[in-house]
Chains A and B, each alone.
Chain A
Amino acid sequence: MNESSRLFAEAFRDPALAQCLLRSIERRATRPMRLMEVCGTHTMAIFRHGIRALLPSNLTLLSGPGCPVCVTDTQEIDAFIALSQREDVIVATFGDLIRVPGSYTSLQKESAEGADVRVVYSAMDAVQLARERPDKTVVFLGVGFETTAPTIAAAVLAAREMGLANFCVYSAHKTVPAALSALMANPAVKIDGFLLPGHVSVIIGLNAYRDFFQAHGIPCVVGGFEPLDILQAVDLLVAQIDAGTPALANGYPRAVTADGNQRARAVLAQVFTACDARWRGLGPIPGSGLAIRPELARYDAAQRFQIAVVEMPPPKGCACGEILIGARTPPQCPLFRKRCTPMDPVGPCMVSSEGTCAAYYRYHDANGTG
């Protein structure tokens, strides 16, 4: 990072401008308002910058189902673990996933038992691993939203280009707009406006939310991740709610365009097709997943390895499902900070560094700090 890019980044943390935005928010938040940030990175940024404590008390920020690890269904985690237990498989995954508990165990515990589980920083590293280990099949665990899915699609295309037969992806990808509709259909969800995810929107573009907005007419603002980005998006939402003029607005125009990243979207469409998916907390949502297209079936781990997993009830007392839809907050879960901690998590919201429970655990205490 050079000097000018550092100054650019610092400009979005300016304390005086933050005060201006906070005063504007205070002026307009004249009645109780409930906003949901749909992205785990937003949840984390809000806590890291101590934003919650600065906002007026009648403004409630709820964390939504925007942490990909958190919304991954237990059955999918069990399938990942079952794959890792195969002698002929090396499992490659992003790091957050390895501590997530399945019904009985986790990838981290299986790794200590001898399973070959590798943490990689990009799907291309997993392709490289497959080239180096022709004796094994490398299965990449595809967990994430539209932000990371194009890079995984590109890895599949690269593997095809190389003629690699021992690389495949277990796709548990999810898409954001479909989840927003499911949230609105849930009677337990009471939200006055959505802070829409910045990174996802860089890929899919503002127009991807158009149908959702037209169907529900709820205030929607895409926001960035620096403190001023978040405050500005909140200010725009509060203004819309106050004036009773819902709109789909772009609060992150330096990164998000109307149509998104066309190239990434093309790669995504070349490899994946929409499918029904189960979300932890939300249950099955039609068309909210990404499956590998039939013509690329040889890269689809779900097709190659017929993994049978049994449906298990969620851990007793775990409120992750309600936390993911903003119906409860982590301190309202009986397990929070007691049976469930980042060292020994019960539910996924405590595991992922972007999970709501992990954020509360790390940054928030009962005295209202953070």
Chain B
Amino acid sequence: MKIEKILLDHGSGGKLAHQLTTDLLLPLFNNPLLAPLHDGAVFDVAGGRLAFSTDSFVVDPIFFPGGDIGDLAVNGTVNDLAMCGAVPRYLSLALILEEGLPVADLKRILASIRNALDRAGVQLITGDTKVVQRGAADKLFINTAGIGLVPPGVVIGGDGARPGDCILLSGTMADHGIAVLTQREGLRFQSEVVSDTAPLAAMVQAILAAAPGVRVLRDPTRGGVGTVLNEIALQSKVGVVIDEALLPVRPAVAGICDLLGFDPLYLANEGKLLCCVPADQAAAALAAMRREPYGREAVVIGQVVAEHPGRVVMRTCIGGRRIVDMLSGEQLPRIC
């Protein structure tokens, strides 16, 4: 399909977003560091290896249960660096403000940025602010970029999964997606669901220490666990099998998903990670994750297999099997 106009689906993190990157961006900018299309790039500099990543934040609404656009902007980039195996160190912050934004809102967001920086142990070392006229942005957009140090010997990539590896997930799925959704205009309803936004770098270092053979680390943000598992299967040229009965979903999240016709496999997480670990190190990795504050509910959700390369298959609760495809298009509510 030829891209003629940008549609909202191009930003969904699913198939169209993937197409936008491969059709429009890669042909112009491709190089060996960009090509892996990982969450961040890892490269050598004199005396060490650095990870570098950037991310923009346009969440609506800007305040939601469990967080706001400020801590999301810090954790998002911190986590992208962490998924390279790096220890995040420095962040940049660029604010694009809409004319008329209440300063009280801005102050509240800056305070949560401050808190998130402290929690993640990173320093803000450069920044920029722009203001655009009313309507040219929606309240505020944030871009952050970050640099982290990759410890010697750490090699993490989306293409590293091998048959036999265990797939671990650090906690429940879809909390962020549902927390934001319940605040959307026209869909407001009472729920106990809060966003899981959290920095994951400390957990990554704990996993690396306990299971040095860890091969893949990914944070399943937009597109959710289902899309990230597909990316791992494609990039590593392996099959993935997951068990429905093992997938952790909070009851409230499961209920809201049932009601609105969403699949938690495709909803965003902002404080969870997926890792592929050789089977003999899986127990150690799992124990390390569960000792971390953001990994207490970590579980094994499946295995990497040699069969059906590029495909993710789910064993359902009742013993059936079905494909878990990459998200195509935004998830939309049911109408009957």
Contact = CB atoms under 8 A, between A and B. Distances in A.
Given A121-B187, A353-B332, A54 B320 contact: yes
Contacts of A314: none
Contact of B325 (A98, A144, A145, A361): A361
Interface residues of B, number: 42
Given A9-B254, A13-B317, 5 more contacts: A3-B251, A49-B316, A50-B316, A96-B333, A363-B323
A112 B313 contact: no
Q: Which of A39, A112, A121, A344 has the most CB of B within 10 A?
A: A121
Contacts of B332: 94-96, 98, 119, 353
A354 B318 contact: no
A84 B198 CA distance: 42
Which of the four size classes fits the interface of chain A?
Answer: 35 or more
Q: Which of A99, A344, A362 has the most chain B CB within a 10 Å cutoff?
A: A362
A343 interface: yes
Interface of B: 1, 5-9, 15-16, 19, 186-187, 251-252, 254-255, 258, 260-261, 263, 308, 311, 313-323, 325, 328-336
Interface of A: 1-3, 5-6, 9, 13-15, 18-19, 39-41, 47-54, 66-69, 94-99, 108-109, 112-113, 119-122, 125, 128, 143-145, 147-148, 199-200, 227-228, 231, 341-344, 353-354, 361-365, 367, 369-370
> Interface residues of B: mostly helix, strand, loop or mixed?
loop
Contacts of A5: 251, 255
Nearest to B261: A353
A147 B322 contact: no
A112 B6 contact: yes
Contacts of A67: 336
A370 B322 contact: yes
Interface centre among B5, B7, B16, B311 (most CB of A within 10 A): B7
Nearest to B328: A342
A67 B334 CA distance: 10
Contacts, number: 144
B335 A97 contact: yes
Given A54-B319, A363-B323, A1 B336 contact: no
Q: Which 7 residue pairs across A and B have the least CB separation, nearest first?
A: A50-B320, A1-B255, A95-B332, A370-B322, A18-B318, A344-B1, A94-B335
Nearest to A92: B186
Contacts of B260: 121
Nearest to B314: A50
Contact of B321 (A53, A112, A199): A53
B318 A15 contact: yes
B334 A343 contact: no
Given A50-B314, A108-B7, A41 B322 contact: no
A364 B323 contact: yes
B318 A145 contact: no
Contact of A6 (B5, B6, B254, B315): B254
16 contacts: A1-B254, A3-B251, A5-B255, A54-B320, A68-B335, A97-B335, A99-B329, A108-B9, A109-B7, A121-B186, A121-B187, A343-B19, A362-B325, A363-B323, A365-B311, A367-B308
